[in-house]
Structure 1
Amino acid sequence: MFHWRSTLDRTGSGGVVELGFTDRSAGRGTGPYAGLNLGGHVGDDPAAVEANREALAAAVGVPRDHLVLMNQVHGSDVAEVSGPPTGASPPVDAVVTRTTGLALGVLVADCVPVLLHDREAGVVGAVHAGRPGMTSGIVGRAVDAMRDLGAETIVATVGPSVCGRCYEVPADMAAAAAAVSASSAARSWTGTPAIDVAAGVVEQLVSTSVAVQWIPGCTRETSSLYSYRRDGVTGRFAGVVSLPQEARR
């Protein structure tokens, strides 16, 4: 179920922060969605998607309704959540909380999933950073929202995404991204203009004094991860961060 997972002790609280990025294994999806597809907007059987979401919630130790997902819109809005959502998911690209017992999730299939945490303050966040989000500053807005909740020492875990060599774009699009984050400038496998969104995201995180842990993996080059750029019709994997109410070992 997990491409990568970690449990971190919270300083002085006796609790933990749990972080993870899922993969395609252990799910009920079939065809182009084979595996643990968590995306409900990609054409997969809704019952299979819901079963996969229930399995993920159980794996991270929260009730299904405590798994908070976003209606991601490639924007720069951030929502603070303090309990299980009621009604439709918020149309935002980052969520933050200091409430224990919630798991915050970001769904991707090439975009950059970013998990944020301050272990001492007990504040966490999940960010969806595609090219539009990176250029519009979603990362910095999420960091600001966490600091508004009392976070001081924030660490970002950046998950797998499409690499710069695999994200060929028109020259003007590459130039616009590089004007925002110079580190995003890249060249494709064939030498054409490209964007390394994750490198741009990491640059932005470092510029806000956030420590970074970067999990390796290019979605287009890794068959165990969903990739829209590689497959077109496909599922979504997740980055998940939580503050369990009780430490689990």
Structure 2
Amino acid sequence: MTEAGGVDSLYWWHDTAAGGDVHVAFTSVRAGNLARHVGDEDVEQIEVRRRALQQRMGVEPGTLRFLDQVHSATVLDAAAHPASPGAAPTGDAWFSRAGAEPLAIMVADCLPVLMVGRTASGGTSRAPGGEALVTAAAHAGRAGLLDGVLENTVAALHEYGAERIQAWIGPGACGSCYEVPAAMRDELAVRRPAIASETTWGTPALDLRSEAEEVLRGRGVEVRQLAGCTIEDDTLFSHRRAPGEGRFAGLVWRAR
């Protein structure tokens, strides 16, 4: 089942994975700003939006986990950071053994990357407790992507038994819009040629999506690209197009 964001949907895109028991989704502007640090910064209103989203997801109120994202390559174990009102652990990716915790990652031009890992047989993994799957969500902006946030996330899934990993690269600033200085593009392209791009108006650009796919496929991950560009699509938040308006979320959770 795939759901594109309709007039009544909080999702920009939604599908199921891993035999249908795991959901992956990206919210649209209809879900509203989900971040406390941008936009209206009305904490109560943001909590109302988060509760509405959790109801739509079908998870218990207060169980959806958010990170304090700082453009790092730090990957956390969600089980070690219980949900706490008004507080969030600092990092830019995390994983959930057995998909026990519903995970969110917030973006507005950076890439949201969702992952589901299973053992090759689909049976019991080598993880403590014998979980059959591991889920993960990563915030892959320019800094985190270059510093290894995706490599670290894949490594964490492997550590907890994942032998087959599927990833969804969500909407972000595309390589035809993400303009940067020529010196930056040229320097990065020396060691990461997939990242080099050019805007539709002929200036230097970065293609984070191509670089993310290169990293993931190089580690044996099955990749699905969702081609939305945040700068071009006004059903998504974009820091470059509309600074301060808000953040949308990438979500991965297990059906109850």
What TM-score do you get using the length of structure 1 for normalisation? Answer: 0.88
Inter-partner Cα distance in structure 2 for 1:181 and 1:209? 18
TM-superposed CA distance for 1:225, in Å, is 0.5
Unmatched runs of 5 consecutive residues or more in structure 1: 28-35
Q: Distance in 2 between matches of 1:159 and 1:128?
A: 10
Return the offset for 1:8: 2.5
Shift of 1:99: 4.0
**Could you tell me whether the CA contact under 8 Å between 1:140 and 1:205 is conserved in 2?**
yes
Aligned match for 1:157, one of 160, 168, 175: 168
**CA distance 1:176–1:62, shift in 2 (3 Å):** farther
Q: Which residue of the partner structure matches residue 50 of structure 2?
A: 53
- Contact (CA 8 Å) 1:62, 1:102: kept in 2 or not? no
Native 8 Å contact 2:33 2:39 kept in 1: no
Match of 1:114 in 2: 113
The 5 A counterparts of 1:1-249 are 1-10=10-19, 16-25=21-30, 27=31, 36-44=32-40, 45-82=42-79, 84-86=82-84, 88-119=87-118, 120=122, 121-244=132-255, 246=256
CA contact (8 A) 1:19 1:242 kept: yes
The amino acid across from 1:232 in the alignment is: P
Amino acid at match of 1:3: W
Write out per-residue CA displacement over residues 40-62 of structure 1, whole angstroms, 9 at most, x where no aligned residue: 10042212211111111111121
Structure 2 counterpart SS, 1:51 = helix
Instruction: Name the residue aligned to 1:33.
Output: none
Deviations 1:175-223 (A, max 9, x none): 2332342111100122111101111111100111100001121000001
Residue type of the partner of 1:40?
Answer: R
Q: Residue 240 of structure 2: SS of its match in structure 1?
A: helix
- Mapped partners of 1:162, 1:190: distance in 2: 15
Q: Shift in Å at residue 169 of structure 1?
A: 0.5
The sequence identity of aligned pairs, in percent, is 39
Q: Is the Cα contact below 8 Å between 1:131 and 1:177 reproduced in 2?
A: no
For the aligned residues, what is the CA RMSD? 1.6
Moved more, 122-131 or 55-64: 55-64
In structure 2, give the amino acid aligned to 1:39.
A
The answer for unaligned runs of 5 or more in structure 2 is 1-9, 123-131
Deviation at 1:100, TM superposition (A): 4.2
How many residue pairs match? The answer is: 232
Pair 1:179–1:135, CA change in 2 (3 A):
farther
